[in-house]
Amino acid sequence: MSDEKHPFLHDLSKHRGSPSTVIVIFGASGDLTARKLIPALFNLSLDSLLPNDFYLFGFGRKTMSKEEFSELTVTSILEHSRRPLNQEVWARIQQNIFFETGDYDDLQAFKALHNKIQTIENNLGRNIQILFYVSTPPSVFKPILENLGKSGLASKHRGSPLASKIIVEKPFGRDLSSAKELNRIISKEFTEDQIYRIDHYLGKETVQDLLVLRFANSIFEPIWNLKYVEYVEITVAEDMGVAGRAGYYDQSGALRDMIQNHMMQLLSLVAMEPPISTKSEDIRDEKVKLLKAIQPLNLKLQGGDVVRGQYTEGLIHGDKVVGFREEKGINPHSWTETYVALCLNINNWRWNGVPFYMRSGKRMARRVSEIAVHFRPAPGSLFKESNKFDLAQNTLVIQIQPDEGTTLLLNSKVPGLETIIQPVKMHFRYATTFGSNTPEAYERLILDAIIGDSTLFIRGDETEVSWNLYSPILESWQSAKDHGIETYTAGSWGPVAADLLLAERKHAWRKPGF
């Protein structure tokens, strides 16, 4: 089924006929479940996009009754849903909400879960698809996968259209060897078409629109190459800190949390060759080809391609915030990075020599994610004499979030008798054109997994190619002086060294969002 439908022109009628499904969330008491997964399920139910027979099992170590978990889902909708709670709609789902308490390495708990799902099937009088959602810290992915295998849950209905599926959250592994090991374990229990390695950035409207922008418009492709593009910037800046996820974040850091996955997806979609079709395998093939063309990075601390940073205390929107090492739950001597900037070179015919700068950090000046494609300056000096200013470089800015849209920076003549040229902006804003209440990424992705469309998920080899690039960076930091950490003040745009990274190449970061 996955290869037949057009991923960007979603045919919702197919979802309306989706198979009866049980979703089992491992880590159901956690942050992601509360903030994203439950609200996504609620919004899908509001649009009648969940299967008619739909069941939800929370699984976790916490002792929780069915009623308590059900109550938790209501709180999560009230606090995090993009649309208000509709009690009537959610009450229908609540009838089928359950919770299974158990350790992730406790086989008996998995067997008990299996029995309960079997009882549901017996009562329905037919088989049902099971979708496992692994929403725990990566440290417990392995026991979960092993117990899904041993309990027979993974192999349930194998070989039939109702074969079990699994969604695995990022980060997929901690480095190349652990990603390989995870791929090995997961593929012992599930075939590749049953595995959905999620990267929620691929479910964002603006990220999907990147392919539409590039390949449904004829004006960009001829100039989307080294002849016309001077450099590209990809920024994912967050103003929040570790936000109650200290345990996870201090073990992870910005490179594992954002760069290896979300940022690489953005880069792939901006830079890959046109796929021969929108079938999932064709798009994934192009992404892998692109990742393989990225050159190994220069890991020198001074004058290299990578900058690692950690925030110190500062002001966010005027309010004082503590430094990373003073955050609750963070080791006061932590060397974990909260910021990474790097310069990549893609060695292929389209891009060789065009720097792709990427940066992502916590506690930066504001929350903004954007891709800026800077075109080479107009040749010649036609306006040099008359113009009072340097001509601005044409830049195409794709704003991923917030205030989603696209802006093109052009030069224009200021009305008047003199020839004065000034940069102006052509704006397209989603909210103005389409209204603002667009579905969240997780709605789209959960729905796709239910119907078996893997286009917007990551293939196993893609994770390994990406780690192949980043594992050496992690290793180099371990032996570097001060672990290669530069500091930056919370509320700034990152360490000074990140400005130098571009300055050495005669470029400068854009002030995002402007």
| Dist. CA 86–CA 94, nearest whole Å | 12
In whole angstroms, how close is the CB of 103 to ligand NDP at the nearest point?
A: 8
Q: Quick one: 138 or 460, whose CB is closer to ligand BG6?
A: 138
| Binding site partner of 227, from ligand BG6, ligand NDP, none, Cβ cut-off 5-8 A by kind | none
| Binding site partner of 30, from ligand NDP, ligand BG6, none, Cβ cut-off 5-8 A by kind | ligand NDP
Active site residue 262: yes
Q: Quick one: 257 or 462, whose CB is closer to ligand BG6?
A: 257
Q: Quick one: 241 or 275, whose CB is closer to ligand NDP?
A: 241
| Dist. CA 307–CA 199, nearest whole Å | 24
Instruction: Pick the closest to residue 171 from 197, 146, 207, 147 (CA basis).
Output: 197
Question: What angle do the packed helices 141-150 and 176-189 form, to 10 degrees?
Answer: 20
Dihedral (C-alpha) 224, 226, 231, 234: value to the nearest 10 degrees? 50
In whole angstroms, how close is the CB of 108 to ligand BG6 at the nearest point?
A: 31
Q: Is there a contact between 135 and 57 (Cβ–Cβ < 8 Å)?
A: no
Q: DSSP letters of 225-287?
A: STTTEEEEEEEEE-S---TT-HHHHHHHHHIIIIIIIIIHHHHHHHHSPPPSSSSHHHHHHHH
- Number of H helices and E strands in the chain, helices first, is 16, 17
Q: Quick one: 138 or 494, whose CB is closer to ligand NDP?
A: 138
Phi, psi (rounded to 5 degrees) for 426: -100, 120
- Three-state DSSP state, 128: coil
Q: Is there a contact between 354 and 372 (Cβ–Cβ < 8 Å)?
A: no
Q: DSSP letters of 50-81?
A: S-SSEEEEEEESS---HHHHHHHHHHHHHHH-
| Binding site partner of 180, from ligand BG6, ligand NDP, none, Cβ cut-off 5-8 A by kind | none
Q: Which residue is nearest to ligand NDP (CB)?
A: 30
Q: Which two tokens stand for residue 278?
A: 């929108």
Q: Quick one: 59 or 231, whose CB is closer to ligand NDP?
A: 59
| Binding site partner of 140, from ligand BG6, ligand NDP, none, Cβ cut-off 5-8 A by kind | ligand NDP
In whole angstroms, how close is the CB of 219 to ligand BG6 at the nearest point?
A: 29
Q: Quick one: 5 or 444, whose CB is closer to ligand BG6?
A: 444
Name the residues that contact ligand NDP, by CB under 6 A.
Answer: 27, 29-32, 35, 60-62, 104, 135-140, 169-171, 200, 245, 248
Catalytic residue among 262, 317, 374, 483: 262
- Three-state DSSP state, 425: strand
| Binding site partner of 6, from ligand NDP, ligand BG6, none, Cβ cut-off 5-8 A by kind | none
In whole angstroms, how close is the CB of 416 to ligand BG6 at the nearest point?
A: 43
Name the residues that contact ligand BG6, by CB under 6 A.
Answer: 238, 257
| Binding site partner of 238, from ligand BG6, ligand NDP, none, Cβ cut-off 5-8 A by kind | ligand BG6
In whole angstroms, how close is the CB of 187 to ligand NDP at the nearest point?
A: 19
> Which residue numbers are catalytic?
262
